[in-house]
Each structure stands twice: as C-alpha cells, then as structure tokens.
Amino acid sequence: MTSLTIKDLHVSVETDDGARPILRGVDLTISSGETHALMGPNGSGKSTLAYAVAGHPRYDVTSGSITLDGVDVLEMSIDERARAGLFLAMQYPVEVPGVSVTNFLRTAATAVRGEAPKVRHWVKEVRETMDQLSMDPAFAERNVNEGFSGGEKKRSELLQLELLRPTIAILDEIDSGLDVDALKVVSDGINRVRATGETGVMLITHYTRILRYVKPDQVHVFAGGRIVERGGPELAEALEAEGYERYVGRDLASAGAN
C-alpha cells in the first residue's frame, strides 16, 4: 500500500505584490485504494494543495512536508514525481500543439513504466480505454487538447489516468463544465481506476453531484487555507443542504481544529 502524507503544509504563491500565503497548515494522508473528496469555497486553497504536491514552480512550500511512502516529495523534480506515481488532472488542461494524443500517451507510459509499451498491445489498450470513455478513435490523432471542448479535455485527462495507473491521482475539479452524460462517463472512469485498489484519489470539487457517482471514503472541508472539518459521505450531503456559509470567515486561529 502506498501513502501520500502531508504534514503541517504552508504554501505561498508569487503575485505581482510579492508572496501571498495560501495554505496555513494542512494535514492529510491518502493511501492507495482510498478516495478523499476535498470541498470548500473558491479561494480556500484546494487547487493550491494540488499544484504544490505536483511541483508547480509558482507555489512555494514555506514549511511542512510532503512524503510518498516516507520519501521526500519536495526534493523531487516534477518528472520524478510523475514517475514515482503522482498524477494531476488539471482543472484547465493546457494545449500542446504539434504533439498527438497517441504520441503523448506512449511517451508518458514509457517514462512511467520504464520501457516502451509493445505497439500491438498498446494500440489495443488505448482503443479499449477510449471506447470505455465513449471517445472517437480519431481523437487519438488530434494534438493534445488543441481545439478540444471542455468535456473532451476532461475525458482526455481520464484517458491518461486509466492508461498510466498512478499510485496517487489528484483530480482538480474534473467535474467542472460537464453535462450529465459526460459526468457519468468520467465518473465511471474514476471508479474503474478505484476498483483496482492500487490508486488513491484526491478528488477536488465544489459540488456534490460527482459524489453521487464516485463515493468518497472521507470528505474534507477547506476554508482559510486549512482543513476545518472532516467526515464521511454524510458531510458532503450536509454541504449540499447548507452550503459553505458557516465556514467562510472562520477565525484562522481555530481553523483546522477538526
């Protein structure tokens, strides 16, 4: 079993006016086979946590630690983190002109697996996964995210997730902008990965609708750069009914007590 452990994490982001603190002491552990939903209002720090774990250079870890099975993630380069099994599905995936989806996926799989997949098996694997995600086979020849709709970008992220099979998958608002049909397809993809028991999932979302299809083991509420409440799926149901109003403006001195 693989575990991502985050302890007392403080992160600042560089702005035109200098460094601005965002995370103010986050503690979180996610193990393979577990699904953790991170919820909270805009600006609470959820995406900052995702990018800090992934190694985005704009986010500066000022104190605290991130370890993967006891190994210091903060000492790893971005590509080392990916090879170690950390995966980030971005809220706004970037376009990569001139690089086809097929070439991108095979290059990524080669880096993660340590050897190039055999072409015949790889082509079959890609086609089967695309079929499960209701993706046109011609999609594989398009350039990565170039001209993709919002739903196509999210399915492309799930295609990567299913083929690369990371040990820890961070899904940053993978449900944003999806219609009901696309939401079900994406949720089914997440559940297929979860069913292997080999991947821990950090599912960042504002809304509970995806949690009707992807049942979390734990729900964590972010506010003021900290986790201010933890619970099971019932906590998500309470948030659906009550919203985040009672968390907004909570005194940072007491935030994170739960």
Cα dihedral sign, 163-187-151-166: negative
**What's the pLDDT score for residue 35?**
97
Report domain 3-242's class. Answer: alpha beta
Domain assignments of the chain as residue spans, ordered by start: 3-242
**CA 191, CA 214: separation in Å to the nearest integer?**
7
C-alpha span between 240 and 220 (Å, rounded): 14
Report pTM.
Answer: 0.90
DSSP reduced 3-state for 57: coil
Beta-ladder partners of 88: 170
Q: Along the 258 residues of the chain, how does pLDDT read in single tens digits? A: 899 999 999 999 988 888 899 999 999 999 999 999 999 988 899 999 999 999 999 999 999 999 999 999 999 999 999 999 999 998 888 889 999 999 999 999 999 888 999 988 999 999 999 999 999 988 889 999 999 988 899 999 999 999 999 999 999 999 988 999 999 999 999 999 999 999 999 999 988 999 999 999 999 999 999 999 999 999 999 998 888 888 876 544 444 443
Give, for 223, the enclosing helix (H) or strand (E). Answer: strand 218-223
